[in-house]
């Protein structure tokens, strides 16, 4: 499709919604490299877990370290730590808080159902569910549209983590990319919390 301009991440993904004829729909950023067996692992997860509607993969950085992109519901305090406190200091003083938010206590080499939030850098969702939810909320230009979709999806089906599906994520640190990105981030955060509930700490 052409001629739409930059309509935002969610709205751009929604452009294909009316034409989907698949059982499973993949949302994937261009800064992602997918393991050869990832898609078959995702399809197996859906086949083996009828209650699951959305699946997130295991995510790794280019250096092989694990990225914990499945998250618990965020608080304003956690977002402040991640966006405005130098990472080394945030880890030193509030490492436990950040680790809990990143579900480091649950995410590893085993399948996990009941994930609160999945990252839009890569997610697989049953097409029927994606259509029922009317895709992403177009009110988000960038950031938090994946969290919003996760919350809405979890009301209809389980959101899960499948470690056998592996990807390498080359991007990240959205809130540290400069003025425009910070404004988009804060505007989307306000929309997300206003819709789903504010959490301070």
Tell whether 2 is covered by a domain: no
Structural domain for 187, as ranges? 9-196
Tell whether 28 is covered by a domain: yes
Tell whether 31 is covered by a domain: yes
Tell whether 111 is covered by a domain: yes
Report the alpha-carbon distance of residue 166 to residue 158 in Å, rounded: 20
Pick the range with the lowest mean pLDDT from 21-30, 99-108, 158-167, 180-189.
Answer: 180-189
Query: Is the separation of the CB atoms in 69 and 169 below 8 Å?
Result: yes
Could you give the number of structural domains in the chain?
A: 1
Closest CA to 81 of 14, 152, 156, 175: 175
DSSP string, 25-71: EEEE-TTEEE-TTHHHHHHHHHHH-TTEEEEEEEEE-TTS-EE---B
Q: Would you tell me the crossing angle of helices 76-84 and 87-101 to the nearest 10 degrees?
A: 150
Tell whether 80 is covered by a domain: yes
Closest CA to 40 of 159, 163, 160, 165: 165
Tell whether 167 is covered by a domain: yes
Q: What is the mean pLDDT of residues 71-87?
A: 94
Q: Say whether 24 sits in a helix, a strand or coil.
A: strand
Task: Please report how many Cα atoms fall inside a 13 Å half-sphere around the Cα of residue 84, on the Cβ side.
Answer: 10
The pTM for the full model equals: 0.93
Tell whether 1 is covered by a domain: no
Q: Provide the pLDDT confidence category of residue 1 given band limits of 50, 70 and 90.
A: very low
- 44, 175, 191 from 106: Cα distances, Å: 21, 25, 28
In CATH, what number is assigned to the domain containing residue 38? 3.90.550.10
């Amino acid at each position: 499709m052409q001629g739409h301009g930059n309509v935002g991440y969610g709205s751009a993904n929604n452009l294909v919604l009316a034409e989907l004829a698949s059982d499973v729909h993949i949302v994937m950023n261009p800064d992602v490299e997918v393991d050869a067996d990832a898609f078959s692992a995702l399809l197996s997860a859906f086949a083996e877990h009828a209650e699951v509607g959305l699946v997130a993969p295991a995510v790794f950085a280019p250096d092989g370290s694990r990225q914990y992109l499945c998250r618990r519901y965020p608080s304003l305090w956690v977002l402040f730590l991640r966006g405005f406190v130098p990472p080394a200091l945030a880890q030193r003083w509030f490492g436990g808080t950040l680790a809990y938010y990143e579900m480091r206590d649950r995410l590893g080499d085993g399948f996990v159902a009941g994930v609160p939030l999945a990252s839009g850098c890569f997610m697989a969702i049953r097409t029927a569910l994606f259509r029922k939810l009317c895709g992403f909320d177009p009110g988000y230009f960038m950031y938090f549209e994946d969290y919003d979709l996760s919350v809405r999806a979890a009301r209809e089906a389980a959101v899960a983590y499948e470690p056998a599906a592996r990807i390498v994520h080359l991007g990240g640190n959205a809130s540290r990319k400069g003025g425009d990105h910070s404004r988009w981030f804060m505007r989307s955060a306000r929309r997300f919390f206003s819709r789903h509930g504010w959490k301070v700490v």
